[in-house]
Amino acid sequence: MTLQKAQIHQKLHFKNNYLGIGIVCAGLLSAPAYAASPAKIKQAAEGAKHPYLNTLKDLVNIESGSKDLAGVNQMAQLTAARLKAAGADVSILPANDMYRMDDTPEKVGPMVKAVLKGKGKSKIMLIAHMDTVYQKGQLKDQPFKIDGNKVYGLGILDDKQGVAAIIHTLDLLKKLNYNDYGTITVMMNSDEEISSPGSRKLITETAQDQDIVLSFENGGKDGSVRLATSGIGAAYLDIKGRGSHAGVKPEAGVNALTELAHQIGQMQDLSNPQTGLKLNWTVAAAGKTRNVIPDTASAQADARALRVEDFDAVEKKLQERIKNKKLADSQVSVKFEVRRPPLAANDAAIQLAQRAQSIYKNELNLPMTVLTIASGGGTDAAFAGLKSKAAVVEGMGLSGEGAHSTDAEFILADSIVPRLYLAARLIIEASQ
C-alpha cells in the first residue's frame, strides 16, 4: 500500500526520563557493548548488495496482484524458501479468518510466517507484503532493469523491496553468527493492497507481545520513517424505493434518488477538523432510464481518522441519521467498515526513531526525517500497533518513487546497504 509523504516535518522533542517506557527501547539509548561491531555489520551489509538485487529480480519476475491467487502463492513459496535458507522456521498459512469488506474477494492468498529463536529475551517483528496492485500481464511493460542508481520493476517499491530487505537482514544476521535476540517473527501477507482482509487478525494478534515492530514499506525518496498513519474507513449508503413511469404516474413510485439526496445532505457535517476525522461522499449512483422513477440508489464515502474511537462514533452517527427519512416508504441502510485502523506514535516508537536517526547521522552520514504527523495513507503497521505497546516504525524499506505506476516504479540502489545496516543495527541493539 503506498503512502503520501507528510508535508509537515516536525522536530522531535524527547524525554530525558526513559523509565517505564520499556527495557528494550531504553537499552537502545544506552551505549551498548556490541555483540557484532558496526564495522562488521556494515561490511556484511555491503556484501549483501548484489545478492539482494538478485533476490529482488526473482521477486519482481513473479506477477503477484492481490487477486492473482496463482501469483501470490508462487511468491509465498519463493519467499518461504529464502527465509528458510536464512535460518528461520517457516510456515505458509492460509487465510481462514476473513474480515469481509465491500470489495473483498472470495479467497485471498496465504501468509508466510517465519520465526527465528535466539538465546536472548527481545521480541522483534518484521512485516512486509508480497502482493501488488497490478494485473497479470503488465510485467512485460515494466520488467526488472538496472539503470544507474535506479532499479525498475513491477511492484519493486511497493513492496517487493521490503520482502527482499527482510530476507537479507536475516541472512546478514546469520552470516554474523548473531543470535542474541529472543525471537524474530516475520509476517508477510498477500492481501495488503486490498486492506488485508485475511491477514489483519493474525498481524494484530502476533504483535501484541512484541517489543519492536519494523514495517518495511518504502521510505519515500528521502529515506524517512513514519510513526503515525491515518485510519481508513468507508461508508456504504443504500436506498430502496419503488419504480414507476416518470411521465404517466410518478406519484406511484418512491424516488430512491430523492431519498439519497436527502440522506447525503444531512450527513455533510460529520467531519471534525479538531480530531482529524474526515468523511466525504465520493461515489453515487441512481437510476438507469430517464423516464423511470429510480427504485434504487447508492453512495459511498471515504473516511479517515487519527483515533479508533472516532470511527466508532461516526458509525453510530450514520446509523442515527438514516432514521430521519424524507420519503416514508423508502428503505435506507448504511454499512461502515474499518479498512485500516490509525497508527499513533507512542513513546517507545519515538525513542526507537531517535536511535535510527542517530545511526544514520553518526554512522552513515545520512539524513533521516521522522514523520510523527499522520498523512492520508495507511499500512499494516497500524494492525500491528492496534493492541500492542510495541515500538512500531513504518518506512524501514528502501528509497524510491513511482509506487502504483505503470511505467516508472523504481528503488534507489544506494539505499540498499544503509537500510540493511539500519535494520540489523536496531535488531542487535534491541537485543543487548
For the beta carbon of residue 316, count every other beta carbon within 10 angstroms. 11
Side-by-side strand order, sheet with 150-152 = 145-147, 150-152, 410-412, 400-401
Total residues found in the chain within this entry? 432
**Residue 300 cell numbers, joined:** 459511498
For residue 370, list its beta bridge partners. Answer: 225
**286, 237 in Cβ contact below 8 A?**
no
**Residue 254 cell numbers, joined:** 418512491
DSSP string, 16-76: S--TTS-HHHHHHTS----SS-HHHHHHHHHHTHHHHHHHHHHHHTS--BTT-HHHHHHHH
Distance CA(34)–CA(352), nearest Å, equals 17
Of 175, 192, 180, residue with least CA distance to 124: 180
Distance CA(331)–CA(242), nearest Å, equals 10
**188, 80 in Cβ contact below 8 A?**
no
What is the DSSP secondary structure assignment for residue 233, as one 8-state letter?
E
**344, 306 in Cβ contact below 8 A?**
yes
Whether the upstream peptide bond of residue 159 has omega within 30° of 0, thus cis, is yes
The set of catalytic residues is 131, 192
DSSP string, 191-231: -GGGT-TTTHHHHHHHHTT-SEEEE-S--TTTT-EES-B-E
Distance CA(21)–CA(28), nearest Å, equals 12
Helical H segments across 198-346, by residue range: 200-207, 256-265, 308-321
- The maximal CA–CA distance of the chain, rounded, in angstroms, is 87
